[in-house]
Structure 1
Amino acid sequence: MAQQSTLRRGNLPAELTSFIGRHAELAALAALLTGPRLVTVTGPGGVGKTRLALRAAATAAEDAYLVEIGELQDPLLLGHAVLEALGLTDGTARPPLEVLVEQLDGRRLLLVLDGCEHLVAACAELAGTLLRALPGLRVLATSREALRIGGEHLLPVVPLPVTAPPGTLPAAVRLFCDRAAAVLPGFEPRGERQRAEVGTLCRRLDGIPLALELAAGRLRSLSVGQIALRLDDRFELLTDGDRGALPRHRTLRTAIGWSHELCTMQERLLWARLSVFAGSFDLEAAEHICAGDGIEADEVVDLLRELVAKSVLLREEYAGAVRYRLLDTLRDYGAGWLRGSGAEYGLRRRHRDWYLGLASWGEVEWFGPRQAETAERTALAHSNLRAALEFCLGEPGEEQVALLLAGTLWYFWVGCGHLGEGRHWLERALALDRAPTAARAKALWVTGYTATLQGDRARAEPLLQECRSQALATGDDRALAYALHRLGCSALIGDEPARAAELFEQALRHYETAGELNSNVLMAMFELGLAQLFQGRVTEGEEYMARVREICEEHGEQWAYAYGLYARAYSQWLVGEARQARAFARESVRLHYGFRDLVGLVLGLELLALLEADRGELVEARVLQGAAHRIWQAVGVPLFGSADFNAPHHECARRARAGLSEQEFRAAFERGARLELAQAVHRALDRAAELPTERDDDGDGESDCVLLDRVSGLGRHQA
């Protein structure tokens, strides 16, 4: 299932190797984290800043969240990355910093900004803004340079000690031996000579952890003495005689360069090619992008294994699948070789093509039983999709591909809670190329769609009208269908249900002419049904709901199905069938929560609040309304500012005000507004499940449990 939209209790990764040394630094950092609210761990690349920060964060009093800054290129995406790391979803058009300040108000947490040096100004602005606005926040940053803002306390990290009192082993030696044992099982220095060689090697490498790990990776083919000797021979060669470089920088360059030199030609070639990836990647991506011109596709898996053994690559497991990652320092080194080879542009195009293919396949699979897997796969590729978009937007001649990629990812931007970031990429792409192509038409309607969901109709309408005009001028019936459809959405939230219904009907005719059938078409049917319900035409609305349900069940579609369930719940409430309305609304909330779609989720929550009022549970109804109000702040204007969408909310509030004292009315709402998303959803679902199991109010012979099972069947069958 897709990631859930809730403020998780920390997201720090599990440690994959033992933590050695750094007791003094760890104690100092722990002490700092109880006092100053901004601490920056500084030091050269490879010295262990990240590992120290993560170990300290794991023992901090506050919940800790890691934001990997090294994967970002665009400083404008920094706020979006923080929201994503925190598990927060925001669908508004507001700046991410404003959203963060609002959603984190009153919370106590530790934010770990890792690898700030290449975006130091943006990180400094973000940290300063958040710290001024949020007294319960602490920031722990790692960077090769300070952020240089008020209140910052620095903890410089130096390499591990290479000497120790008699009878004890220096931390650098213990680290080397630990990593060596992972490469050469049973490794342990024996005898004075071998212990002296290990000590010499660790001193030669200045105790830099990354250099020690790289050297340990050579032990399968060389002895400790051979490693030390060859490092001596290569020191000047591999630093290009740069005597002006800091000694520790030269040492690390030597260690990386020598590790690179001792790789086979194919391993070096793959290392360079892997530098095009941002974040993690899987075997299939590496085979497609990096094979050819000296590397066969079936050789990639063995080469990856060798690079892992040499500590060049990190191997990670996620949901039972293996993924790989290059450390930033090693990626930079590989990228230098790739640039020098003259092959960088071609490799980045192949990288772009692979992730365009991933997005295109995701768009296809979004209409089917694998929506949850598609959401997860796209989320894992998020960093690389960003890199592909940056490439398209930065290279002349790639503008149309940028439009296509940004538009194709509509399902991720809309269905998985990334409206703000999606609009960022779409607006940038639209500004670069105004040629009336199919790619631009798609980007226009997708941007208009995201703006509509954000409540920004002033921006949405011109974009959708441009898409409509272009489609008419070029004879693009598919683009015309999408433009009319999304104009209908704008009319629907603008309290023009009759005009909306007319636009949806036109869109459905053009969809049929174009042979289009997907989740968007189902949403047009759902929205047409809702427009009919808003006009009091319950029978007509139910007909469209039945059609949506039929197609969803045929294809295993769940996202549009969840919206259809909301409309059915609303319809059942209109005709007085509260029990069925509650079952449909509950399942709609459950599915939307899994997809991280706050728009659909909060609509269902509002309806469940009204159904609580129907049962006479007025306090609980106001609690749920308070929870919904908090969620709307992350979506946009509550209930789109629409009188039609607001009708259940106002009816619920009217009943609650009539049956509660003013103090009870306000206190219940405020209690709900303090609930985090996960708490609100679980409360709503648990309350909705508290139904009599034997009663059959409508006389159809179907118990509440049977009804709930039937409604939930599709989601469970396809999970």
Structure 2
Amino acid sequence: MPPGQLPHDPVHRLTAFLAERHVVLALDNCEHVLDAIAPLVGAVLQRCPRLTVVATSREPLALYGEVLHTLAPMSAEDSAELFSVRALMVDPAFATDERTSQDVLALVRRLEGLPLAVELAVPHVRMLSPHEITLRLDDRFALLSKGDRTAPARHRTLRAVLDWSYALLDAQEQSLLARLSLYVGGCSLRGAEEAALLPGADGTELVHVMTQLVEKSLLFPVREEGGTRVQMLETVREYARERLYEDDGRGTEAEEAFTAWAMSFAEAAVSGLSSDDQGAWAARTAEEATNLRAASALLAARSRSADVLLIEARLGYFWFISGREEEGIQRLARALAAYDADAPARTEAPTWAEEWAFYYTIAWLSWLSHIVGRHADARGYGIRNQGYWQSAGHPDLAVLGPCYDALLALLNADGQVEELFSAAEAGIVGTEHHWDRANLQAAWSQWCLGTGDAPGARDHGRTGVEAATQAHDAFSRATCLVFCGDAEESGGRPERAREQWGEAAEVFRTIGARGRLGFALVRLAYLDLGEGRPDAAEPRLAEAASLADGLTSADLTAAVGNLRALLAAHRGLLAEAGEVFAQVWAMHEAPPTRRAVAGLGLVAVARSSADQEAATGEPADEPPGRTAPPRPAELLRQVTAVHGRVLEPLAHRAVGRLLADWGGRCGEEGRPGDGPLLHEWLFRGPSVRAAFS
């Protein structure tokens, strides 16, 4: 600039330089100077038509024509590669074998693909293995605290980065971020409004503040069937939660609001899950299940075990509908243990709500244990509940108590079962407890079927359908339809059974009851195989297997496996059938019914393979690497022992029929004689369906 000439305006000088150039102008870390940078970029772009501006910022510049490109965290694979490359620079002896690679993947997943977090973890490889670093990430801010000395101070540690971002928030944004840290499973707008996460703010203002946090990259939206939820990375959530408890009063108040929301939600779910909106409530409860668990944990930590019991008891039906019985059993058992542990400190009589919660916690533990095949556990819980209702003050328990006493008698194979069912029915008929009556009739139907009374089972199933219809409960109605189908199949009317199982399957599919849908499909596949229709059975079993994988259900997996083995045998693939039976036999977590069938399947495969060898003079094909099963005679002895642990009467009798059939055809050396082919087990005389589904 010539001496004596006044300097031009900086914007004028910049635009004069860029006006005719094809240039990309990069501006980094704009979020802390947005009020200054946005007008500058707007002015420069207006005067420089050939200019492109690339700006990095934790929130948009909010200019006309702005195109947003959200940078997602790195993938686990890219993060692992970054970690390994940097680790070799820090420690040339860093191992890159398969086990270490898996440990690195586990580590970077915990670090959520944040490049800075990965970089800050790398220096620790001089002292710690990747697995040891992962174990210490519960206090990630202390661990990831030494970065590049040449970097700006705000980028040297993970905490410094988040401190910088937090300081740029206004008071409302800081408050909402901190409160949302309690929502481990994310939060919907509806949930945020119900919990009043911004006291005094209306829905419009709440949406605005949530949007600001999304735009500042501290929350991210997830669009689900029930609507949009906002979530945060675990790193951000831990930081926000620390901020929440900096002020003791704010943390306590936020916890109260969160747990109050959870208790209110669980109360609404009790009626919602047995209503015309059942499917929507099942989906919504699934979305909030993680948050409800977090609320229960907070209440337990505050020694509010009665409130924990109330939440978990109210969720009992959800675990059954969703097919997540194992998770339900764990949570209910944990709640009951905490309640029992606090018993010595309680000095006041239980409230009606507490009595209801205790009673239904035990009832659901008994029923869910029965469903997954843990009949001894089911009996134990039922015994604890027996007679409880007689001393309770809650008036509903005087009506409901006899219903669950009848269920206990069923589990115990008590000689007075019929009288107890009749007494329970007399007490509940004509009341508003339609849902509980439907459950009573369903259990009664099962008992009748177990005693060989197929007409009685059908009649009680139909009564259950009527009661469930009065309760506006689609799931309960479909469950009773399944029992009606069981009665029809046992009575020799497979086509009528197919109609009812098929109708139930469609209801289960509509409301998202994956576990019950899986077993309805298994029943239909059982009919298909028995009628010689393997091509119809195959897609049903494939869908049921997919459902079992999603639910991690050992029972459903084993049931599908046994029928898949029969399908393979039907097609002459004996080696494949034996392999699948062997897999089920080795599943010690599966109910004894499924394992007994698999063991008998292995005996049958051995017989069929021996017959094949005798006919062809060539040994049957065996899968490579397969461990040979025990000799048939020894296997039959083991199956007999497993059969003794099958407590459900109908399944016990079905397995007994199969065992007598194959045991009678097997001599001391385990050499079966003539008999039906493996897949002809089905539809041979009295029904053995209960052994398979």
1:269 to 167, 175, 190: 175
Distance in 1 between residues matched to 2:655 and 2:528, nearest whole Å: 11
* 1:281-319 per-position Cα deviation (integer Å, ceiling 9, x unaligned): 101112232445464454111100001111111211122
Secondary structure of 1:317's partner? strand
2:428 to 497, 511, 516: 511
Secondary structure of 2:185's partner? coil
Map 1:248-647 onto structure 2 (within 5 A).
Answer: 248-249=156-157, 252-291=158-197, 293=199, 295-319=201-225, 321-341=227-247, 342-396=249-303, 398-416=304-322, 417-419=324-326, 420-434=329-343, 436=350, 437-438=354-355, 439-461=357-379, 463-496=381-414, 499-512=416-429, 515-518=432-435, 520-553=436-469, 557-588=473-504, 595=512, 598=515, 601-602=518-519, 605=522, 609=526, 612-613=529-530, 623=566, 636-638=591-593, 640-647=646-653
> Residue 406 of structure 1: CA displacement?
1.2
> Residue 50 of structure 1: CA displacement?
6.2
The change in CA–CA distance for 1:666 and 1:331 in structure 2 (over 3 A counts) is farther
Q: Does the Cα contact within 8 Å between 2:111 and 2:235 map onto a contact in 1? A: no
Aligned to 1:185: none
Q: Does the Cα contact within 8 Å between 1:414 and 1:597 map onto a contact in 2? A: no
Aligned to 1:152: none
Secondary structure of 2:416's partner? helix
Distance in 2 between residues matched to 1:51 and 1:255, nearest whole Å: 12
> Residue 472 of structure 1: CA displacement?
0.9
> Residue 394 of structure 1: CA displacement?
1.2
Aligned to 2:152: 204
The change in CA–CA distance for 1:555 and 1:460 in structure 2 (over 3 A counts) is closer
Aligned to 2:600: none
Q: Does the Cα contact within 8 Å between 2:379 and 2:412 map onto a contact in 1? A: no
Code of the aligned partner of 1:623: L
Q: Does the Cα contact within 8 Å between 1:273 and 1:338 map onto a contact in 2? A: yes
Distance in 2 between residues matched to 1:395 and 1:441, nearest whole Å: 23
Code of the aligned partner of 2:270: E
> Residue 590 of structure 1: CA displacement?
6.2
Q: Does the Cα contact within 8 Å between 1:484 and 1:503 map onto a contact in 2? A: yes
The change in CA–CA distance for 1:576 and 1:632 in structure 2 (over 3 A counts) is farther
Secondary structure of 2:293's partner? helix
Q: Does the Cα contact within 8 Å between 2:299 and 2:307 map onto a contact in 1? A: yes
Aligned to 2:574: none
Aligned to 1:717: none
Give the structure with higher Rg (CA). Answer: 2
Q: Does the Cα contact within 8 Å between 1:485 and 1:507 map onto a contact in 2? A: yes
Matched, 1:145 2:136: yes
Distance in 2 between residues matched to 1:460 and 1:600, nearest whole Å: 23
The change in CA–CA distance for 1:440 and 1:616 in structure 2 (over 3 A counts) is closer
> Residue 630 of structure 1: CA displacement?
7.3
Distance in 2 between residues matched to 1:616 and 1:645, nearest whole Å: 24
* 1:592-628 per-position Cα deviation (integer Å, ceiling 9, x unaligned): 6775565785487368536733659899696279789
> Residue 503 of structure 1: CA displacement?
2.8
The change in CA–CA distance for 1:347 and 1:600 in structure 2 (over 3 A counts) is same
* 1:182-223 per-position Cα deviation (integer Å, ceiling 9, x unaligned): xxxxxxxxxxxxxxxxxx9xx3167x5xxxxxxxxxxxxxxx
Q: Does the Cα contact within 8 Å between 2:403 and 2:424 map onto a contact in 1? A: yes
Code of the aligned partner of 1:642: E
TM-score, normalisation: structure 2:
0.58
Secondary structure of 1:425's partner? helix
The change in CA–CA distance for 1:452 and 1:47 in structure 2 (over 3 A counts) is closer
Secondary structure of 2:275's partner? coil
The change in CA–CA distance for 1:485 and 1:19 in structure 2 (over 3 A counts) is same
The change in CA–CA distance for 1:655 and 1:307 in structure 2 (over 3 A counts) is same
TM-score, normalisation: structure 1:
0.56
Distance in 2 between residues matched to 1:41 and 1:52, nearest whole Å: 16
Distance in 2 between residues matched to 1:605 and 1:17, nearest whole Å: 41
> Residue 544 of structure 1: CA displacement?
2.0
Q: Does the Cα contact within 8 Å between 2:187 and 2:231 map onto a contact in 1? A: yes
Distance in 2 between residues matched to 1:615 and 1:461, nearest whole Å: 39
Distance in 1 between residues matched to 2:80 and 2:565, nearest whole Å: 51
Code of the aligned partner of 2:360: K
Distance in 2 between residues matched to 1:648 and 1:587, nearest whole Å: 25
Aligned to 1:135: none
Code of the aligned partner of 1:431: D
- Cα RMSD (Å) of the superposition? 4.9
Map 1:48-59 onto structure 2 (within 5 A).
Answer: 49=113
Distance in 2 between residues matched to 1:589 and 1:641, nearest whole Å: 27
* 1:76-98 per-position Cα deviation (integer Å, ceiling 9, x unaligned): xxxxxxxxxxxxxxxxxxxxxxx
Distance in 2 between residues matched to 1:629 and 1:596, nearest whole Å: 24
* Unaligned 5+ runs, structure 2: 1-69, 89-94, 122-128, 344-348, 538-561, 568-576, 595-645, 683-691
* Unaligned 5+ runs, structure 1: 1-14, 55-114, 116-123, 125-138, 148-155, 163-199, 209-247, 673-683, 686-719
> Residue 387 of structure 1: CA displacement?
0.7
Distance in 2 between residues matched to 1:515 and 1:631, nearest whole Å: 47
Code of the aligned partner of 2:464: V
> Residue 550 of structure 1: CA displacement?
3.1
Code of the aligned partner of 1:545: G
Code of the aligned partner of 1:474: A
Matched, 1:17 2:72: yes
The change in CA–CA distance for 1:18 and 1:464 in structure 2 (over 3 A counts) is closer
Secondary structure of 1:343's partner? helix
Map 1:650-661 onto structure 2 (within 5 A).
Answer: none
> Residue 384 of structure 1: CA displacement?
0.6
> Residue 388 of structure 1: CA displacement?
0.8
> Residue 272 of structure 1: CA displacement?
1.8
Map 1:169-184 onto structure 2 (within 5 A).
Answer: none
